[in-house]
Structure 1
Amino acid sequence: MSRLELSPNFSDPDAFYAALTEAHRERSEADSERINARLILLLANHIGEQQVLEEALSIAAADSEQPR
């Protein structure tokens, strides 16, 4: 049973960030939301394990509840 990897695991985080921001450049808010939704579903499919996905969702949802 896998656990969610929480340690830094990017081979090149700056390159990924640059590609992500470029994918959103000059897009409408609705287009950006569609890109994010598709990206989430593609990565969730790649992970595949329900328990890992639920752990990630729980962590992401808890973080969004924190005051800013």
Structure 2
Amino acid sequence: MTLDTTPRIADPDGFFALLVEAHRGLSAEESRRLDARLVLILANQVGDMAALCAAIEAARAAGTKVSDAGR
């Protein structure tokens, strides 16, 4: 499956601000748990296992590229 990574968030800066605010005052562990709950809620919204697998692969590949660039 090809993942559609076309930007579709109407207000990306607003979304980022909401995400940052959601983490305000949380410990590192609480932030990780918030992120995990958010991922599961959004994965449920997507629902398509092929799309979820493609998204995981894309996220891992993006993380690897960032890690490799910092070396």
Give the share of equivalent positions with the same residue, in percent.
40
Q: Secondary structure at the match of 1:55?
A: helix
**Runs of 4 or more consecutive aligned structure 1 residues displaced over 6 Å after TM superposition:** none
Q: What is the total number of aligned residue pairs between the two structures?
A: 67
Matched residue, 1:15 = 14
Q: TM-score, normalised by structure 2?
A: 0.87
- Alignment root-mean-square deviation, CA: 1.3
Deviations 1:32-59 (A, max 9, x none): 0000000000000000000000000001
Q: Residue 65 of structure 1: CA displacement?
A: 1.5
Q: Which runs of 5+ in 1 are unaligned?
A: none
Q: Which runs of 5+ in 2 are unaligned?
A: none
Q: TM-score, normalised by structure 1?
A: 0.90
More helix by share: 2
Matched residue, 1:25 = 24
